[in-house]
Structure 1
């Protein structure tokens, strides 16, 4: 899967000792007690947002250009994100009751299964 880098703004610690990270153009805004933790958390949230957009067949926003970002006291950094690959048709075998239960909660079975697989993979690190 191809990797894309999104510019983000790392803000210095505030009065509470929290560092902030914002990814302009995408709904990512996190804070943590260290720069490293804030950057790791922001990268994880960015990946979650991209995975969710891919599962919903929504368009994934392209990274903004560094020149278009005003850091406002922060530092521009790049966060990696793995872009979804091309879809591939597969055949699987599942219990028919499980399929029925999936169909009662999801309008798109493939998207549901892909989202569940991403969640399991993320949980395993």
Structure 2
């Protein structure tokens, strides 16, 4: 799936927004960095919506967006492009190997937090992915 993305440049700073995902934005110091961060911020935003039980919006085509007066008013000063997007999916089982003492510490921390081992690892992965694109 692809989501239409708007990129706006002002004074050497590039802002990225997603018309179908209000509030989902990022900024970067170069066009290349903005494009690289766009897919990550969109995935993080959609994962958060999914976790909060918010229905994900329908990703409109460029033709559908051009029929939207608000989009047309905002789009002329911006570039638009299609950002790859994979909506949150179902949980899948994986087989991974960990140091025994690390796994014991994870299990203890998960138990204290009232989580499962899988939930703990998923939260840690989400945090790491979030930190990667907010540097």
Using structure 2 for the length normalisation, give the TM-score. Answer: 0.63
Residue 17 of structure 1 and its aligned partner are, at CA, apart by 1.3
Residue 86 of structure 1 and its aligned partner are, at CA, apart by 2.0
Count matched residues: 115
Cα pair distance change 1:61/1:114, threshold 3 Å: farther
Alpha-carbon distance in structure 1 between the residues aligned to 2:25 and 2:122 = 25
Structure 2 unaligned blocks of 5 or more:
66-70, 95-102
Q: If each structure's helix is expressed as a fraction of its own residues, which one has the higher value?
A: 2
SS in 1 for 2:76: coil
1:23 maps to which of 13, 18, 29? 18
2:86 maps to which of 63, 66, 82? 82
Residue 111 of structure 1 and its aligned partner are, at CA, apart by 5.6
CA deviation profile, 1:76-97 (whole Å, cap 9, x unmatched): 101112222223579xx97764
Cα pair distance change 1:73/1:122, threshold 3 Å: closer
1:101 correspondence with 2:112: yes
Give the CA RMSD over aligned residues.
3.2
Cα pair distance change 1:57/1:50, threshold 3 Å: same
Alpha-carbon distance in structure 2 between the residues aligned to 1:120 and 1:21 = 21
Residue 99 of structure 1 and its aligned partner are, at CA, apart by 3.6
1:10 correspondence with 2:38: no
Cα pair distance change 1:35/1:63, threshold 3 Å: same
SS in 1 for 2:113: helix
SS in 1 for 2:20: coil
CA deviation profile, 1:45-67 (whole Å, cap 9, x unmatched): 11111122233333222212312
